[in-house]
């Protein structure tokens, strides 16, 4: 039996003022799968995630979550329906504590018991945050800040997580720690659409990979297959 689609994009065209940034993108994130989009900087990866979460307007095409259209909905409604966006960079409230930042992810949830359960899950999956729960976000290391961002996404309770360049600006050892967290999230059954610049980081983790250039997918397939395509890597990712 085929895997059930959680998130589907069909012929998506989107952008800011002027010409579109995304030009007819289609992809499927099956339930429980991790799909990765790689490509050069400035070619539409972040815009793709922002379009799904409603931060960039959808001009043409269709985006569905569990078969229900997200097109034209406000970002808060899209989040409430189950899309949890972990943006590029930290995007934390620096003068709020770790726990307060995490709770901001559950702003749309009114059930205190649900919020408490989600917070417990975050602290189990990210025990370092439990140690830092009273600490101001401004005092955290880069890796800890990134973990708070992921934890805040978990607090949203989404059906699908959109994670934008989780390794950006981090040291290699910290990147390994972040990807261990992402692997754990996938193992728990979460559906994930991940944006990354380096495809080597998702070997053994991604179920499928899409190479994005100038707003179009120029290649799609398995991560191992992309890593064997030296010409593609050299042309689009610098080797």
pLDDT digits (tens, 9 = 90+) for 214-229: 999 999 999 889 888 8
Q: Let me know: does 10 contact 61? Beta carbons within 8 Å.
A: yes
Residue showing tokens 């931060």? 55
Average pLDDT across each block of 10 residues of the chain; the chain has 239 residues. List them in order. Answer: 80 94 96 94 92 96 96 93 90 94 90 94 94 95 93 92 92 91 93 92 93 94 89 78
Residue 234: phi and psi, rounded to 5, are -65, -40
User: What is the set of domains in the chain, with CATH numbers?
Assistant: 1-82+161-239 (3.40.50.300), 90-157 (no CATH)
What pLDDT is stored for residue 1 in this prediction?
36
What pLDDT is stored for residue 135 in this prediction?
96
Q: What is the pLDDT of residues 170-200, one digit of tens each?
A: 899 999 989 999 999 999 999 999 999 888 8
Handedness of CA 42, 48, 53, 59 (dihedral sign): positive
d(CA 69, CA 181): 30
Q: What is the pLDDT of residues 192-208, one digit of tens each?
A: 999 998 888 898 899 99
How big, in percent rounded to 5, are the helix, strand and coil portions of the chain? 40, 25, 35
The helix (H) or strand (E) run that includes residue 34 is strand 34-38
Q: Let me know: does 39 contact 209? Beta carbons within 8 Å.
A: no
What pLDDT is stored for residue 198 in this prediction?
86
What pLDDT is stored for residue 140 in this prediction?
94
What pLDDT is stored for residue 2 in this prediction?
46
In DSSP terms, which residues pair with 233 in a beta bridge? none
Sheet holding 68-69, edge to edge: 22-30, 5-14, 58-65, 68-69
């Amino acid at each position: 039996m085929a895997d059930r689609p959680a998130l589907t994009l069909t012929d998506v065209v989107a952008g800011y003022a002027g010409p579109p940034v995304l030009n007819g993108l289609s992809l499927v994130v099956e339930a429980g799968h991790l799909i990765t989009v790689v490509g050069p900087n400035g070619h539409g990866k972040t815009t793709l995630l922002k379009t799904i979460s409603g931060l960039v307007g959808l001009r043409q095409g269709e985006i569905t979550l569990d078969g229900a259209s997200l097109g034209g909905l406000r970002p808060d409604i899209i989040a409430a329906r189950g899309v949890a966006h972990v943006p590029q960079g930290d995007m934390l409230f620096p003068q709020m504590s770790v726990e307060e930042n995490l709770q901001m992810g559950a702003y749309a949830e009114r059930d205190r018991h649900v919020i408490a359960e989600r917070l417990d899950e975050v602290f189990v999956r990210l025990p370092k945050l439990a140690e830092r729960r009273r600490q101001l976000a401004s005092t955290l290391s880069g890796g800890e800040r990134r973990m708070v961002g992921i934890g805040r996404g978990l607090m949203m309770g989404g059906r699908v997580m959109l994670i934008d360049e989780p390794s950006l600006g981090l040291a290699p050892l910290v990147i390994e720690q972040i990807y261990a967290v992402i692997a754990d999230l996938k193992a728990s059954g979460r559906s994930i659409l991940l944006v990354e610049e380096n495809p080597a980081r998702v070997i053994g983790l991604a179920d499928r990979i899409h190479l994005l250039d100038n707003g179009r997918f120029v290649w799609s397939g398995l991560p191992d297959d992309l890593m064997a395509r030296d010409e593609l890597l050299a042309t689009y990712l610098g080797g």
